[in-house]
Amino acid sequence: MYDLVIVGSGPAGLSAAVYAKRAGLNMIIIEKNPVSGGQIIDTYEVDNYLGIPGVNGFDLGMKFREHADKLGAEFVDGVVTGIECVSEGSNTKAPVFKVVTEDSSYETHTVLLATGAHHSKLGIPGEEEYIGKGVSYCATCDGAFYRGKVTAVNGGGDVAVEDAIFLARFCSKVYLIHRRDELRATKILQEELFGLDNVEVIWDSVVKEIDGEDKVTHLQIENVKNKEMKKLDVDGIFVAIGIHPSTDLFADIVELDEKGYVIAGEDCATSKAGIFVAGDSRQKRLRQIVTAVADGANAVTAVQDFLVGKEK
């Protein structure tokens, strides 16, 4: 019987592991991937994490994991297939949950969901090859690397338009590529976008291929109406066609919002007593490494408060 089972070992899960071990909690982390670190291990360079400017994303993920290992955190390889409530608990007695994996199960008094989120991809040639070398899914994370350069944003919703507006502050030129002849973004965002001199919208078009050498140099774009192809020279492309929290598995046990994010405040407590959430899968304004790490700390503090005074 564990005090805490953490599902996922990205920045939120690893931060939680550090705080849980320091608090003396009996805990484990279950991770489905062969390497801890979450999305950051695919990031070529992280320049906005306080005190470690310009660090390679994989290296930062390894530092997080090493910290948890140094404190003796126990890691289990496995894919979580469900969470069952064995006992609801009460004001004086802690609940009991069973976290089920493909080949085992673990009983615990509390669970922390740190499963993160994943960006929708274009699924075109060159995309995987140039991730971190001109292909990005987060303008606020990586935009500063393109100061004075030419970039493209793929998408037509609020996020895509917000990314284009953000990039226009320091990029010499920003192309917004959209497959339709009108944007889905809110009117106020569109008005701001169309007022920018260094932004050009390429309508009725899709990116068919991302090309380069050591890094992205150009895109192959197709007009969906006349099927004409053209080459667009850019230094980078930001894909903004959607992000999806990895929470489908938990929809029947905790409350999700309309986009699938787990509803929880700064204490990271979900609608189900004893289950907490941290990181990109939580409903919040900003999803960055620093906010995920903060969530991990807040969640474990809430777990400790939850367990105080309860019979185990």
Question: Does residue 141 carry a catalytic annotation?
Answer: yes
Question: Does residue 268 carry a catalytic annotation?
Answer: no
Q: Residue 270 is encoded by which pair of tokens?
A: 């979900």
> Of 257, 252, 265, 247, which is closest to residue 301 (Cα–Cα)?
265
The active-site residue out of 69, 103, 138, 268 is 138
The active-site residue out of 142, 163, 280, 295 is 142
Q: Residue 23 is encoded by which pair of tokens?
A: 């608090």
User: Is residue 106 within a helix (H) or strand (E), and if so which, with residue range?
Assistant: strand 105-113
The active-site residue out of 141, 171, 268, 280 is 141
Could you tell me the CA-to-CA distances from 86 to 1, 7, 275, 295 in Å, in that order? 12, 18, 13, 26
Question: Does residue 142 carry a catalytic annotation?
Answer: yes
Q: Which residue bears the tokens 């046990």?
A: 253
3-state DSSP assignment of residue 175: strand
- Label residue 211 exposed, middle or buried (CB < 10 Å: 0-12, 13-18, 19+): middle
Active site positions, annotated: 138, 141-142
